[in-house]
Amino acid sequence: MPASFELPDITQRAWEVLLRGLAGNPSAPAEILIRLTAANIDRSGLARRRDLPAEAAAALATDSDVDVRLGLASNPNLPPTVQVVLAGDADPQVRGRLAEGAEYFTTSGVHGRRIPGPLSREVYEVLARDPEPKVRRALGFNRHLPDDVRAVMLNDSDPRTAAIAAAEWPSAPTDRIGDLLARVTGAFGRQMLLLRLDGPLPAEAAHAMLADLDSAAANEYSMALLGQIAEVVDLDAGLTDRFMASPDFRAAVAANPTLSAEYVADLAHDPDNQVRAAVVARCGLDPALRESIPVDYNDRSSETVGWLLTENLSEQEQLAFARSRHQIFRKTLALRADLSEEVVEILARDESFAVRLFVCERQSNAPGWLLTQIVEQWTSYSRWDMLRHKNFPADAATRLACSDKPHDRAVAAAHPGLSADTLETLLADDDDTVRGRAATNPAVPADRLIELLGSADSVIAAGAAANRVLSVVTMRQMVDQAGL
């Protein structure tokens, strides 16, 4: 049974610190989260919680603080009734945030970006009629916008809204591509639309765009658009000759799936490394030809092969790509979630730092020795998540906790494998972030956690309140005492 939580002399400011920490506690049950909606704290973090109960979301939807409603509008797990309330919010920023349905970042030992699910049909229709153009523009970016609603938006009175609605059409229907491209003005808008094309760009539409581009002054957007056309158009003889003749577009045309086999074979020996790389990345290329093509890769490049992420690969095919001479295939393979232990082990020993990094960021069975190695070399945001990986060794976390660099100590401070002595050292650290994260460590004993809740150090108190092993009994005592 946890110790009783009783702080009779605590100040209002101290209560705010504790309740704000509790609002971020991953173990806080629905009943606590609902009661916290009435707390005199910054509730915007509470509003963004993915596990926010419907009753709490409904209460926050009418919160007087616009930052709270903005946080709620970013939450991907809102019930339709709350979506309707936010769609009618007095502040266009809130309506726009809801309308966009922007991607959000999530981790659970491995990295990933997610797209919120669809809004309700009623909400889409309400937002499409919003009086503010910037709200309708935001709606045009929504990946789940129903096709019939998007089609109506192509005729929006605001030209920019119409352009966004066309350019952001996911998998734009090939039979409407000519009409869609005609409605979009400017090279940048057309580029965005071509990114959503669900098949080859019809040659007729390409010729019309090329005539338009040829009659205007060249700029960076028009050059990029030409390269994009070269990559996705259904090539005819004239288009093939035009793009093959230009050194600027040979790499783009080399990636075009409609390019005839004789041209592919020729480009496989092109002196330009970028052109050969584009040939290598083609889907369906003969494996023997692919492995015979020499390509130099930039280890820090973020380029991957899209089709390899979705292709249904056998175990043998996975192993072949894991042993490929081409880094881009090994790097892309490391992003897949269906890899066998053998494939992960091969990639974990890859010569490329980028491949090994992706293994640590994306694979739930990444080996502990590799996680240790990468954490020692990598300082970006994913380093924090590697410490939470189930395979990260406690001894490696302890070494980081003893580092002379505050960032290292902060990264290690929440690892559950730290000893009591190491934790106490971190709780006395000079750095606020280190002390706060140490207080969230699940290895803190229950009695010590109660003591930390009463700490005069606000970062320690807030961290203790956010500690996931804090008992529900103590949480209830806290909100009771706070008068919620």
Q: What is the DSSP string of 250-281?
A: HHHHHT-TTS-HHHHHHHTT-S-HHHHHHHHT
**Cβ–Cβ < 8 Å for 397, 438:** no
Neighbours of 309 (CB within 10 A): 12
Q: What is the mean pLDDT of residues 250-264?
A: 94
Which range (72-81, 104-113, 208-217) has the least confidence?
A: 104-113
Q: Which residue has the tokens 């769609």?
A: 87
Measured CA to CA, the distance from residue 239 to residue 356 in angstroms comes to 41
Of 263, 273, 220, residue with least CA distance to 242: 263
At 14, the pLDDT band (50, 70, 90 cuts) reads confident
At 163, the pLDDT band (50, 70, 90 cuts) reads confident
Q: What is the mean pLDDT of residues 274-298?
A: 94
Residue 3 above 70 pLDDT? no
Cα-trace Rg, the chain: 27
**Cβ–Cβ < 8 Å for 467, 24:** no
At 281, the pLDDT band (50, 70, 90 cuts) reads very high
**Cβ–Cβ < 8 Å for 359, 372:** no
Identify the H or E element spanning 177: helix 177-183
**Exposure of 165 by Cβ count < 10 A (0-12 exposed, 13-18 middle, 19+ buried)?**
buried
Q: Which residue has the tokens 């529900």?
A: 472
Measured CA to CA, the distance from residue 455 to residue 467 in angstroms comes to 14
User: Tens of pLDDT along 188-244?
Assistant: 778 877 877 778 888 988 998 898 888 888 777 788 889 999 999 999 999 999 999
**Cβ–Cβ < 8 Å for 107, 385:** yes
Q: What is the mean pLDDT of residues 397-409?
A: 93
Neighbours of 267 (CB within 10 A): 22
**Exposure of 344 by Cβ count < 10 A (0-12 exposed, 13-18 middle, 19+ buried)?**
buried
Burial code (b: 16+ CB inside 10 Å, e: under 16) for 95-127 equals bbbbbbbbeeeeeebbbeeeebeebeeebbebb
Measured CA to CA, the distance from residue 424 to residue 439 in angstroms comes to 9
pLDDT of residue 482: 87
Residue 8 above 60 pLDDT? no
Q: What is the mean pLDDT of residues 279-294?
A: 94
**Cβ–Cβ < 8 Å for 56, 78:** no
Q: What is the mean pLDDT of residues 44-53?
A: 93
Q: What share of the chain is helix, strand, coil (3-state, %, to 5)?
A: 55, 0, 40
Q: What is the mean pLDDT of residues 9-16?
A: 79
Which range (16-30, 174-188, 192-206, 239-253) has the least confidence?
A: 174-188
Which range (112-121, 175-184, 360-369, 424-433) has the least confidence?
A: 175-184
At 167, the pLDDT band (50, 70, 90 cuts) reads confident
Measured CA to CA, the distance from residue 96 to residue 132 in angstroms comes to 9
pLDDT of residue 484: 86
Residue 469 phi/psi, 5-degree rounding, is -95, 5
pLDDT of residue 196: 75
Residue 109 above 60 pLDDT? no
pLDDT of residue 142: 93
Please name the amino acid found at residue 151: A
Residue 122 above 90 pLDDT? yes
Nearest 5°: the CA angle 112, 95, 100 is: 35
pLDDT of residue 465: 95
Residue 38 above 80 pLDDT? yes
Of 279, 224, 276, residue with least CA distance to 257: 279
Q: Percent of the chain scored above 90 by pLDDT?
A: 69
**Residues ≥6 apart with Cβ < 8 Å to 445:** 420
Nearest 5°: the CA angle 84, 90, 95 is: 55
Q: Which two tokens stand for residue 474?
A: 């103590």
Residue 279 above 90 pLDDT? yes
**Cβ–Cβ < 8 Å for 473, 2:** yes
HEC assignment per residue over 180-207: HHHHCCCHHHHHHHHCCECCCECHHHHH
pLDDT of residue 184: 73
At 381, the pLDDT band (50, 70, 90 cuts) reads confident
Q: Which residue has the tokens 């690969």?
A: 313
pLDDT of residue 4: 60
Identify the H or E element spanning 127: helix 121-128
User: Tens of pLDDT along 342-372?
Assistant: 999 999 999 999 999 999 998 989 999 999 9
Q: What is the mean pLDDT of residues 365-382?
A: 90
**What is the pTM (predicted TM-score) of this model?**
0.79
pLDDT of residue 125: 96
Measured CA to CA, the distance from residue 138 to residue 134 in angstroms comes to 6
Measured CA to CA, the distance from residue 399 to residue 419 in angstroms comes to 12
Give bridge partners of residue 105 from the DSSP assignment.
Answer: 113
Give the distance from CA 405 to its chain's centroid: 28
Measured CA to CA, the distance from residue 178 to residue 188 in angstroms comes to 16
At 1, the pLDDT band (50, 70, 90 cuts) reads very low
pLDDT of residue 106: 62
Q: Which residue has the higher pLDDT, 373 or 213?
A: 373
| Mean pLDDT over each residue of the chain, to the nearest integer | 90
What one-character-per-residue DSSP string does 85-101 give? HHHT-SSHHHHHHHHH-
**Cβ–Cβ < 8 Å for 149, 136:** no
